[in-house]
Chain A
Amino acid sequence: MDTLFNFLYASIIASTPLLFGTVGEILSEKVGNMNLGVEGMMWLGAFAGFYAAYKTESFLISLLASFGLAAVGALIYAFLTVTLKANQNVTGLTLTTFGIGLSLVFGKAMITAAGGAPKTSDVFNAKVAAINIPVLSDIPYIGKIIFGLNPYVYIAVAIAIILYVYLMKTKTGLNLRAIGENPAAADASGINVNLMKYINIIIGGGICGIGGAYMSLVMVNGSWQDSGVVNGYGWIAVALVIFSSWNPAKAILGSLIFGMFSSLRYYVPSDIIVIPTAFYQMLPFVVTTIVLIVTSIKKNKENTQPAACGINYFREER
């Protein structure tokens, strides 16, 4: 029983960056922009969040910094794809290259300045540690899972729920879904297509960035290494968007399942079941591929990729 709940706890911890990345990308794809720069934006967020935490010890500033730098990355993407109508795939991939490069160049400079791998202070580490609410956190089993998590987890879930309500229940959400489905129709209805695209791509990018900060601050215990911080999680997030059928609420479940895959290997009794580590690491990618195939087999008009996703819109194009 303990093992099971420990496994669940570890899965939640592992799923959180994916949830940030996934809902961020959903927001972008809902306005018709497939942004393959999630990995890059998470890297940017990872660096900025870390650097701010390292320098200021403030959780809030770190949070804003990770959101902010990734949002700047998303802004570059938005400017190129929305205003200058550049190819979305190539722009997104470039953003990934650029984001990884920039974070590591900055990171290297930070390491040089610190004379070794910089670490966040204990003061800050305490701020991002698991919270502890008297009584509630001590409830057997579920106490820790519900009331004993680090603050990012609550922020991630809150963002996912807020975005769900925003997208599915408000008129603004209706408007932005219209843009992703048929930008010409949205435009003709009086919706400011470009503005809405900018806003949502940038916010989406910022959210991805928080996921990156989570990876540099929580998952690797607040120490900046020269590489290997985000590790392809951004790409899994892109795939999780499909798994969640573009629904932020389902993304909570989706990322949890993927969190389970990535923490599974520590909880499978290795003396009974012997599976090479590489296969556990491969699992999320294999499952994503299977999901991709299954969703493509059962063709569905709704709960699928927005019809105009990936296609740039230019009002005067004839």
Chain B
Amino acid sequence: MTNTTYAIELKNICKNFGSVAANKNVSLNVKYGEILALLGENGSGKTTLMNMLSGIYHPDSGEIWIDGKHTVINSPKDSFKLKIGMIHQHFKLVDVFTAAENIIMGTEGFVGSSKKAAEKIKEIADGFGFSIDPNKKVYDMSVGEKQTVEIIKVLYRGARILILDEPTAVLTPQETEKLFKVLDNMRKDGCAIIIITHKLNEVMAISDRVTVLRKGETVATVDTKTTDIRKLTELMVGRPVELKIDRPETERSAEPMFFVKDLCVRNEEDVFALKNVSFELYGGEILGVAGVAGSGQRELCETIAGLMQAESGEITYKGENILHKSPAEIIDLGISMSFIPEDRLGMGLVASMDIADNMLLKSYKKSKGLVINRKPSRELAEKLVKRLEIVTPSIKTPVSRLSGGNVQKVLIGREIESNPNILITAYPVRGLDINSSFTIYNLLNEQKAKGVAVLYIGEDLDVILELCDRVMVLCHGEVMGIVDPRKVTKEDIGLMMLGNKLEKEGGAENE
């Protein structure tokens, strides 16, 4: 026994949601002046575990020890009192408030002295090397700025134990580097830090120790120095895996399947979300789209799919401009387009309906007459459940009850069944575990082999670089360049994501 008091010590934590065990006997500890990486696949229970430290959830059983004392955390307020601060993956900020208001809200006192608060905010920002405008409204902020507000918010409350949930998911490599510098400063300052991630190279770059979770259980805790990516993967997945994503060489069509030319789109707030976007998409290729979140990816997908009106430009399919055509008219032209939206349950599927009724979404219009015929959709549902090994009690189960991976299989399965010429996928592996992710990659590669033109919007640059045949980088709605992923590095793409236009035409464009 050493006499170090741990900043945090979790002992045999259990937490169930309904019949699902999110955490089973999880134990871990962190010291001050140390960064612990909490590694695990999506769905392995990392966030649930940390939410128990931040007071959002309460463990079903097990103990939380803070500074060597057994404690009970019932609310985020208790958590702040214990000097714990969590930066959530989905930022918890009030849009119509300023940065300063978001930071001071919920702190002690009846009348907020904004002057004193502003000074303190500035002090914290200067101390760790942040830049922040306290009077800027959150709805005007970029993702990076919002994250800064979140971090300052917990520091303002005097947090000495910081928990960051997937902080780099939305950042460019350059921003990530900056964040890691700040974290390093905090470590030197004596803070205890837990960083939740599933990116192995980041674990190696920043952490002192790693605790690996798998299916809600602690698998191991190892010193970062004594391990490597291969070992960590094995711990995380539970078996040795080849983390190489396949990129089969296929014959791409001689002529582009379609062109997008000078596309300009205004979003709901009447701001240009896409500015003069031009590219071509060939049959039999996967074109990746990289960019910081909110760079116009959603608008690009929805405009191509005919769900959003473009201001100007052209989308030409086989010589026909389909820009101002409705989805129905596009179908009439013999174009079969499939779109896998990022919000699966909120857009691609109807959460409360069962698998069979969700199949109807694509096909109900085709049946003749007023009355709906549910037989074909039921058959299709049965077929998909078998073919894609969808885990579900029955085809009558509401899709909201399925796990993330199975939900995605239902959605992609339905879309692929319609034999598309063009497949647009937005963040198709977000939230999925490695197994399900690979199923999806394989499905996409299958489509590519069939000659389908695939547009892949992604966030994980490693995946984009390995899976895609060409990569287009967006920044603030503009195309920064289209590159050959075999010939560029992640940092090159990161620079483009931040707004540095590619000087000369990239590899893939050299015919």
A and B touching (C-beta < 8 Å)?
yes
- Which B85-105 residues have a C-beta within 8 angstroms of A? 86, 88, 92-97, 101-102, 104-105
Q: Are A188 and B92 in contact (CB under 8 A)?
A: yes
The stretch of A189-197, A201-209, A270-278 that contacts the partner chain: A189-197
Closest Cβ neighbor of B157 among chain A residues: A190
Q: Are B104 and A192 in contact (CB under 8 A)?
A: no
B319 → chain A closest CB, angstroms: 39
What residues on A are CB-neighbors of B77 within 8 Å? 190-192
Q: Are A315 and B95 in contact (CB under 8 A)?
A: no
- Determine if B75 is an interface residue (Cβ-Cβ < 8 Å): yes
Q: How far is the CA of A310 from the CA of B104 in the complex (A)?
A: 25
Q: How far is the CA of A301 from the CA of B96 in the complex (A)?
A: 7
Q: Are B17 and A189 in contact (CB under 8 A)?
A: no
Q: Are A185 and B109 in contact (CB under 8 A)?
A: no
Q: Are B110 and A170 in contact (CB under 8 A)?
A: yes
**Contacting A186 at CB < 8 Å: which of B94, B104, B110?**
B94
B163 → chain A closest CB, angstroms: 12
0 or 1 for each of A153-175: is its CB under 8 Å from B? (1 = yes): 00000000000000001111011
Q: Are A175 and B57 in contact (CB under 8 A)?
A: no
What residues on B are CB-neighbors of A295 within 8 Å? none
Q: How far is the CA of A186 from the CA of B101 in the complex (A)?
A: 11
- Chain A interfacial residues counted at CB < 8 A: 25
Q: How far is the CA of A169 from the CA of B79 in the complex (A)?
A: 27
What residues on B are CB-neighbors of A185 within 8 Å? 92-94, 102
Q: Report the tally of A-B residue pairs with Cβ distances under 8 A.
A: 82
Q: How far is the CA of A177 from the CA of B157 in the complex (A)?
A: 20
- Determine if A298 is an interface residue (Cβ-Cβ < 8 Å): no
What residues on A are CB-neighbors of B75 within 8 Å? 187, 190, 192
B109 → chain A closest CB, angstroms: 6
- Determine if B56 is an interface residue (Cβ-Cβ < 8 Å): yes
0 or 1 for each of B96-132: is its CB under 8 Å from A? (1 = yes): 1100011011110111100000000000000000000
What residues on B are CB-neighbors of A170 within 8 Å? 110-112
Q: Are B105 and A181 in contact (CB under 8 A)?
A: no
Q: Are B93 and A171 in contact (CB under 8 A)?
A: no
Q: Are A307 and B95 in contact (CB under 8 A)?
A: yes
> A189-B76, A307-B95 are contacts. A178–B106 as well, Cβ < 8 Å?
yes
Q: How far is the CA of A8 from the CA of B77 in the complex (A)?
A: 50
Closest Cβ neighbor of A165 among chain B residues: B111
B421 → chain A closest CB, angstroms: 37
- Which B404-432 residues have a C-beta within 8 angstroms of A? none
Q: How far is the CA of A190 from the CA of B80 in the complex (A)?
A: 7
Q: How far is the CA of A174 from the CA of B88 in the complex (A)?
A: 21
What residues on B are CB-neighbors of A169 within 8 Å? 111
Q: Are B76 and A190 in contact (CB under 8 A)?
A: yes
Q: How far is the CA of A171 from the CA of B77 in the complex (A)?
A: 16
Q: Are B105 and A171 in contact (CB under 8 A)?
A: yes
Q: Are A315 and B112 in contact (CB under 8 A)?
A: no
0 or 1 for each of B31-74: is its CB under 8 Å from A? (1 = yes): 00000000000000000000000101100000000000000000
Q: Are B17 and A318 in contact (CB under 8 A)?
A: yes
Q: Are B92 and A171 in contact (CB under 8 A)?
A: no
Q: How far is the CA of A192 from the CA of B75 in the complex (A)?
A: 8
- Determine if A182 is an interface residue (Cβ-Cβ < 8 Å): yes
- Determine if A2 is an interface residue (Cβ-Cβ < 8 Å): no
- Determine if B476 is an interface residue (Cβ-Cβ < 8 Å): no
- Determine if B153 is an interface residue (Cβ-Cβ < 8 Å): yes
What residues on A are CB-neighbors of B97 within 8 Å? 174, 177-178, 181
0 or 1 for each of B470-508: is its CB under 8 Å from A? (1 = yes): 000000000000000000000000000000000000000
What residues on B are CB-neighbors of A177 within 8 Å? 94, 97
What residues on B are CB-neighbors of A189 within 8 Å? 76, 92, 102, 105-107, 153
> A187-B76, A190-B75, A301-B139 are contacts. A171–B110 as well, Cβ < 8 Å?
yes
Q: Are B109 and A171 in contact (CB under 8 A)?
A: yes
Q: Are A315 and B56 in contact (CB under 8 A)?
A: yes
**Contacting A171 at CB < 8 Å: which of B94, B96, B112?**
B112
Closest Cβ neighbor of A187 among chain B residues: B76
0 or 1 for each of A3-29: is its CB under 8 Å from B? (1 = yes): 000000000000000000000000000
Looking at B88, B92, B94, B101, the one whose CB has the most chain A CB atoms below 10 A away is: B94
Q: Are A188 and B105 in contact (CB under 8 A)?
A: no
A178 → chain B closest CB, angstroms: 5
What residues on A are CB-neighbors of B57 within 8 Å? 315-316
What residues on B are CB-neighbors of A175 within 8 Å? 105-106
What residues on B are CB-neighbors of A315 within 8 Å? 56-57
B21 → chain A closest CB, angstroms: 14
B210 → chain A closest CB, angstroms: 26
Q: How far is the CA of A192 from the CA of B106 in the complex (A)?
A: 9
B318 → chain A closest CB, angstroms: 39
Q: How far is the CA of A310 from the CA of B421 in the complex (A)?
A: 43
**Contacting A188 at CB < 8 Å: which of B86, B96, B112, B139?**
B86
A170 → chain B closest CB, angstroms: 5
Q: Are A182 and B112 in contact (CB under 8 A)?
A: no
- Determine if A184 is an interface residue (Cβ-Cβ < 8 Å): yes
Q: How far is the CA of A184 from the CA of B95 in the complex (A)?
A: 12
Q: How far is the CA of A84 from the CA of B262 in the complex (A)?
A: 53
Q: How far is the CA of A189 from the CA of B88 in the complex (A)?
A: 11
- Which A258-313 residues have a C-beta within 8 angstroms of B? 301-302, 307
> A189-B106, A190-B107, A191-B105 are contacts. A181–B94 as well, Cβ < 8 Å?
yes
A67 → chain B closest CB, angstroms: 23
Q: Are A188 and B88 in contact (CB under 8 A)?
A: yes
Q: Are A186 and B17 in contact (CB under 8 A)?
A: no
Q: How far is the CA of A34 from the CA of B269 in the complex (A)?
A: 26
B102 → chain A closest CB, angstroms: 8
What residues on A are CB-neighbors of B105 within 8 Å? 171, 174-175, 178, 186, 189, 191
* A residues adjacent to B (C-beta < 8 A): 169-172, 174-175, 177-178, 181-182, 184-192, 301-302, 307, 315-316, 318
Nearest 7 interchain pairs by C-beta:
A189-B106, A171-B112, A185-B92, A190-B77, A188-B92, A190-B106, A191-B106
* B residues adjacent to A (C-beta < 8 A): 17, 54, 56-57, 75-77, 79-80, 86, 88, 92-97, 101-102, 104-107, 109-112, 139, 153, 157
A-B contact pairs, 12 of them (CB 8 A): A170-B112, A174-B104, A174-B112, A185-B92, A185-B102, A186-B94, A188-B56, A190-B107, A190-B157, A191-B77, A191-B105, A315-B57
Add 11 more A-B contacts to A171-B107, A301-B96 (CB < 8 A): A171-B104, A171-B109, A178-B94, A178-B97, A178-B106, A187-B56, A189-B107, A190-B76, A190-B80, A302-B96, A316-B57
